[in-house]
A and B are shown apart, each in its own frame.
Chain A
């Protein structure tokens, strides 16, 4: 079977399109590359969806934590603490069993135990907590002068937030947020690995990598392939976030831009 044929058969296998049976024997490198790459669809889906939705909750949580109102601050603080303070792996497990018992009593929660929704919710809450903390840190380091200037222009409330506070917060938080995005994509490999089951052998990149490791009894090929894909993905993320960063900082002189880039060192 030629490699192009393999790609046609298995390129979209992870979402159920193409050949139903996975390759059973005589595994070729092409098959491994194709299927593991196909699994990346799920990693990208989880990563992008969680980032896109988590971003808004993160902003809200950051504002809440910075708020002077106790009723806003305390829940935000606890939310961040719980999701940042415990391993994602355990969160997945716990969430899965929790969703299962929910489903038992209320059938309307049916979809929660499947990975596409249940795991996404966990990832969404998780990234919201991490980014919330990053945004909160950025909020606190907004130069006092900026806010005072906004006040002097007579801005307040929503317009001050939208035109001054929020853009500055993003600008300050962006390098750390880039890191968070990278880690979030890495974390998506845990979905099928923890508790959420894979249906009809549709799984993410790690699922297929371990499938091959299992069948060929040789872990030294599939996992490096997986690593290769993730390095590519990381490069893409760094590139895209770099472009946004450029846009966020377009008003700054060149020397200060360089300084901001440096903070990319904070690990999650």
Chain B
């Protein structure tokens, strides 16, 4: 008898939950202001706010998941979460494996940060995070590429003199360069990538459409620009 009650309860529970469409959102949590862990230990940042708003507009139940940058795409295609929303620039290479929604920030420059102005970014030693478009760019330029696993370590490398400069998204570098008197922007900005979009599985056409519509509606009513300005992640549309 007891067992019976339990089963019905479980059934009722699962039926109730199946109504709402749960979408799991994968992010890195180490790339402020895009996404980071706040003092309360929760995922916070531009993409947290954006993602929550998109889910509301698309009528999706959303849940946040953290995943290392290195394995963020393999885990998406094997279905451990449903979208990547982690400041991921739209590139051809990635587009071959996953699909992207329309971009939610315009293509934005990457910038060099160094400890002194007379650094030669074309031939010197430049740090970048492994597997980013910046790393690919440096590998092709004449500079010596040093790769680090996390964005944090690339900055540390410049501070320690391990690398002459670091190349990363300008919005990521800006607050760091502001705060640290030793660090400054050098050389010209480099335009890279096709803006930042949400990554989805290629077979997930429905979800992609829903998110596209939601992003479009945020672009149309200007709320996306507001968010971008609030978090200072990039230029606006």
Contact = CB atoms under 8 A, between A and B. Distances in A.
Most buried by A among B70, B77, B125, B130: B130
A201 B145 CA distance: 7
A199 B144 CA distance: 7
Contact of A22 (B93, B125, B139, B153): B139
A209 to B, nearest CB: 12
Given A214-B70, A217-B77, A201 B160 contact: no
B139 A201 contact: yes
A227 B127 CA distance: 30
Interface string B150-173: 000100110011100000000000
A100 B140 CA distance: 28
B64 interface: no
B131 interface: yes
A198 B146 contact: yes
A218 interface: yes
A198 B93 CA distance: 22
Contact of A21 (B140, B147, B161): B140
A200 interface: yes
Most buried by A among B77, B146, B153, B157: B146
Interface string B117-159: 0000000010100110000100110001111100001001100
A25 B74 CA distance: 17
B146 A199 contact: yes
Contacts of A104: 160-161
A60 interface: no
A21 B157 contact: no
Interface residues of B, number: 24
Contacts of A197: 127, 146-148, 153, 157, 162
Contact of A100 (B73, B97, B144, B162): B162
A103 interface: yes
Interface string A202-215: 00000000100111
A214 B70 CA distance: 7
Interface in A17-61: 21-22, 24-25
Interface in A174-221: 195, 197-201, 210, 213-215, 217-219
Nearest to A104: B160
Given A213-B74, A214-B70, A219-B74, A198 B139 contact: no
A113 interface: yes
Interface of A: 21-22, 24-25, 100, 103-104, 113, 195, 197-201, 210, 213-215, 217-219
26 contacts: A21-B139, A21-B140, A24-B93, A100-B162, A103-B160, A104-B161, A195-B153, A197-B127, A197-B146, A197-B147, A197-B153, A197-B157, A198-B146, A199-B125, A199-B146, A200-B144, A200-B145, A201-B145, A201-B147, A210-B70, A214-B130, A214-B131, A217-B73, A217-B74, A217-B77, A218-B74
Nearest 9 A/B pairs, CB to CB: A217-B97, A197-B146, A214-B131, A217-B73, A100-B160, A198-B147, A200-B144, A217-B74, A197-B148
